[in-house]
A and B are shown apart, each in its own frame.
Chain A
Amino acid sequence: MIIKRYGLLVCFLFLPILISAQTKISGKIIDSNGNALPGANIYIKNSYDGTTSKTDGTFSFKTTENGSAVLVASFVGYKKYENNVVLKKGELKIDIVLEEEITQMNAVVVSAGSFEASDEKKGVILKPLDVVTTGATADLYTSLNTLPGAQKIGETEGLFVRGGSAAESKTIIDEMIVQKPFSSSVPDIPSRGRFSPMMFKGTVFSTGGYSAQYGQALSSALILKTQDMPTQTISAINLMVFGLGGAHTQLWENSAVSVEGGYYNLNPYNNVFKQRVDWDKSPVGISGSANFRQKISKNGLLKAFVSYSKSDLSLYLPDLDNLPNKTFYGLKPENYYSNASYRDIWGDWNVFGGFSYSLDKDIINAAGNNIEQDQRLVQTKFTANKKIIGNAYLTFGAEVQNTLYDDTYNQFNRKLYETHTAGFVESDIYFTNDLAAKVGVRAEHSKILDKFNFAPRISFAYRLGTYDQLNFAYGRFYQTPEKNYLVQYNKFDYENADHYIANYQYLGEGQTFRVELYYKQYHNLVRGTVYNYPYFNLPVVPFSNNGNGYAKGVDVFWRDGASLQNCDYWVSYSFIDTKRIFSNYPSTAFPTFAAPHTFSVVFKRWFESISAFAALTYVHASGRPYFNPNNPEFLGDRGSSYNNLSLNISFIAKWFGGYSVIFFSIDNLPGFANVYGYRYSTDGKIVAPVVPPTLRSAFLGVFISIGETNQFQ
């Protein structure tokens, strides 16, 4: 009885001791390579007892829990560790090995051959803002020309990448192809890109080895993603030296509409800046665009974009065979582009569907000959993406492009109907966080060629350390011959190119270094003489797919935004060795659209005291070949080197409660006398240099925003 009575008391007396019967748990936590993991959380499940591992990976804590329990260890980037333990008074020693969690977030990014600008993704070299603030003209393509791999070709528009012609590059907006990213131009005066760089939140400039999702470009793909929902209702007025424009964005809860319009007339400007061109009518034009965004569901976003532009220009070109006579050349280009796309997440699936329509019309008057060229393109496309077994993602899709080309030369008319069908499958595989591969295949069919093609693409990335990685890529790329050839001959085959790329990339804190080696082998390039091609005094080349060529070289890129305060600069260097026989080339030659050495520097500085942003861009390119009929070696002459230093300054001012930008730029500030090449008379006795339309050019624009609310008030 007494024992019974006191037993209870004894129990109560000893209870605190029983409760505080502690277990000490200690050990070391490491990763599978044996490296210590400091900062990991080690604890007993469903209790507060635990600790954080120290710098050397060791840990030690006491727990009052008793009996069987679960020991948990968790650390960002690693799989959670759980282990059953029995807790009893005393010490428990446990060493823990955490396995790395393989996720897209932690894994190396496959980036052979491409430069990406994005605010959202990691492992990118540029920001969208860099694209907008580089070069003198706020033109997307001008800023891409400061990256290695792109050639500086002054006399015509387009992206000339690694020894490829402009036709070998394609521009893609929201997964949909743009038939003509530039409007047509008159001889030796390039036109600007048709789309404002401000429209895009992401840019991928691939100089080779791009994904199986895209095709029909032997050299390069420029993949652009437009902005999603705008953030506020805002109006803008743009005043420029040669024109004016306005824009308005209206935002509702789940939708938004933006419209933009502009008018330009270069006549007053061309009267002030001494022109080397004999203008009949300086360029005059209008342009307009509209954007629509609608949120359909949590992740579903519908985007639609429409753009239209029309211009009119004409000039007199010197007739070298009958000097001082001149030849009239007039051009009225009209361009319409629209696309609509929908992106959503359905369960595990990322889905995309899109539609685009391009209509490009040119009316040309060349020395009294009336030329009219109409091109229409209708494209539909879908893609779907899903995580499949393990750490592999599968993407597949298909597209159909219907093209109508209608070419009239005086009374002669030719039409071309093409249906291009393509499908692709691609997988992103993460073997470990340090080793990733992208393996894909693309199949295409052309109705006009009546042929299939089958293009494998593969690229690897291997992470060497926290900041650096190696990339490798191989791919085959097919392209249907250009329309001006297809209308002349009906037995063409696809042109193709094989790309081999290896690169080393260091992406540090504010510093980037990248060196890339490449080899590109061209097969089945189209040969033949067409009526509108230069060098018309050369022997006529019959139509065939007998052309070929190669390009090999090295591209180097260095960027440093960390060493100097408020400053950021990047340096690019490209070396290329390339030869090809194609088009009307009578023999294999170094093409006119490549320079062996290209070097450029972009330097930007932010001046806080005057809220101004200044950028200097210097480009040097060694001389390119040009055609001289007096030289028995075809394209045996090399021109002089090209130099350009341009400056742009943006002042930010606060007017009408919003931010306005005053943008000023000068191209070719020191006045380098650049010559792009030479033109000869048929007999080779008279020569005329091909030069930019002005020695220097300047631009002044004021962009006023109205109704913008201060983000911080």
Chain B
Amino acid sequence: MKSVLTFLIIVLCFVSINRADDAKYLAAMKKNFAQMDSMKTIDDMVDLTNAFLRIANAEKDKWLPYYYASQLCVLSSFTDSVKRKKDEYLDEADKFLAIADSLQPNESEIFVLKGFICQARLQVDPMSRYMKYGFQMNENFEKAIALDPTNPRPEYLKGVTLFYTPEQFGGGAKVAKPVLEASLKKFNEFIPKNDLMPHWGKQQVEDFLKQIP
């Protein structure tokens, strides 16, 4: 009986330690999320990327810190005006996302980000990268949809690409509109599995739709 009690106490201790660790992890992630909402410059993005990587290094089995570090690298790539740096950020984004992918295989959100990286690569040199990255981007979005048909982000990014594609290449605001609307509909119904799961995109979809008459 006593040993059972000791065992229970030990178990309880571990659980509480784990809970404490979880709470620390949750708090650190949420603190970074708050900063993501207010970041403006590339320096802010690099700082946050590093913050997520520190969590990633301490929490070896968690994929989300790598996911957000990767996403921030993509955002840095879009923000930086120096062409060769754009690709360097994306090389980093690829590296972190590959780790996330190995920790959490077949995750729809990871495929969304893979497609997002392709979109950023494409944007560096659309004329010559259209063939390769246009195709890869689409493949990743299709995979993301197949893994989770309720995920609103693949349609959001597809809609944005269409929005910026010239009309003669099958793009334009008109073509983008139904895709963005479909995305918004999914955003309204989408419930992330937990607080730490990706939640970006809804505001942007609404902003894009406001621009389209």
Contact = CB atoms under 8 A, between A and B. Distances in A.
Interface stretch (A48-56, A252-260, A315-323, A380-388): A48-56
B161 A49 contact: no
B166 A509 contact: no
Given A39-B43, A47-B58, A654-B168, 12 more contacts: A45-B57, A48-B24, A48-B51, A48-B58, A50-B51, A52-B43, A74-B53, A119-B128, A129-B128, A232-B135, A611-B168, A713-B175
Interface in A33-91: 38-39, 41, 43, 45-52, 55, 72, 74, 76
B47 interface: yes
Contacts of A52: 43, 46-47, 50-51
B88 A231 contact: no
A659 B87 CA distance: 28
Given A45-B57, A712-B161, A127 B83 contact: no
B185 interface: no
A654 B57 contact: no
B166 A608 contact: yes
Contacts of A368: none
A693 B170 CA distance: 42
Contacts of A48: 24, 28, 51, 54-55, 58
B175 to A, nearest CB: 8
Q: Which 4 A-B pairs have the closest CB atoms?
A: A711-B134, A41-B50, A611-B168, A231-B135
A611 B54 contact: no
Given A611-B168, A711-B134, A712-B158, A119 B129 contact: yes
B156 to A, nearest CB: 13
Contact of A510 (B58, B83, B166): B83
B174 interface: no
10 contacts: A43-B57, A119-B128, A122-B84, A231-B131, A232-B135, A509-B82, A606-B127, A711-B130, A712-B162, A712-B169
Contact of A654 (B55, B130, B134, B170): B170
Contacts of B87: 122
Interface in B102-141: 125, 127-132, 134-135, 137-138
Interface string A116-140: 0001001000011100000000000
A129 B126 CA distance: 11
Contacts of B54: 41, 43, 47-50
Contacts of B148: none
Contacts of B166: 608, 611
A297 interface: no
B165 interface: yes
Nearest to A74: B53
B97 to A, nearest CB: 15
B22 interface: no
Contacts of A652: 168-169
Contacts of B161: 712
B171 interface: yes
Interface of A: 38-39, 41, 43, 45-52, 55, 72, 74, 76, 105, 119, 122, 127-129, 231-232, 509-510, 606, 608, 611, 652-654, 659, 710-713
Contact of A712 (B24, B132, B170): B170
Nearest to B87: A122
B61 interface: no
Contacts, number: 88
Most B-side CB within 10 Å, residue of A39, A55, A232: A39
B206 interface: no
Contacts of B162: 712-713
Interface residues of B, number: 40
A50 B50 contact: yes
Contact of B128 (A46, A128, A611): A128
A46 B58 contact: yes
Nearest to A232: B135
Contacts of A41: 50, 53-54
A128 B58 CA distance: 44
Nearest to B136: A231
A127 B130 CA distance: 13
Nearest to B129: A119
Contacts of A55: 43
Contacts of A105: 91
B171 A712 contact: yes
Interface of B: 24, 28, 43, 46-47, 50-51, 53-55, 57-58, 82-84, 87-88, 91-92, 125, 127-132, 134-135, 137-138, 158, 161-162, 165-166, 168-171, 175
Nearest to B60: A46
Given A611-B166, A712-B158, A712-B171, A39 B58 contact: no
Contacts of B175: 713
Contacts of A608: 166
B169 to A, nearest CB: 7
A627 B97 CA distance: 67
Contacts of A45: 57
A90 B165 CA distance: 57
Contacts of A611: 166, 168-169
Nearest to A41: B50
B53 to A, nearest CB: 6
A46 B59 CA distance: 8
Contacts of B50: 39, 41, 43, 50-52
Nearest to A128: B128
Most B-side CB within 10 Å, residue of A51, A509, A606, A712: A712
A713 B125 CA distance: 20
Contacts of B84: 122, 509
Nearest to A45: B57
A143 to B, nearest CB: 15
A105 B84 CA distance: 13
Contacts of B51: 48, 50, 52
Nearest to B176: A712
B138 A712 contact: yes
A49 B129 CA distance: 40
B128 A711 contact: no
B92 A76 contact: yes
A713 B169 CA distance: 11
A204 B206 CA distance: 48
B46 A712 contact: no
Contacts of B168: 611, 652-654
Contacts of B55: 48
A506 to B, nearest CB: 13
A129 B138 contact: no
A611 B169 CA distance: 9
B134 A712 contact: yes
Nearest to B175: A713
A509 B85 CA distance: 10
Nearest to B27: A48
Contacts of B165: 712
Given A48-B24, A50-B50, A129 B170 contact: no
A463 B129 CA distance: 28
Contacts of A659: 169
A659 B134 CA distance: 15
A128 B134 CA distance: 17
A455 B166 CA distance: 53
A711 B138 contact: yes
Contacts of B24: 48
A243 B170 CA distance: 30
A50 B161 CA distance: 37
Nearest to A49: B54
A64 B145 CA distance: 43
Contact of A710 (B47, B91, B129, B170): B170
Nearest to B133: A711
A72 B131 CA distance: 41
A509 B83 contact: yes
Contact of B57 (A46, A119, A653, A712): A46
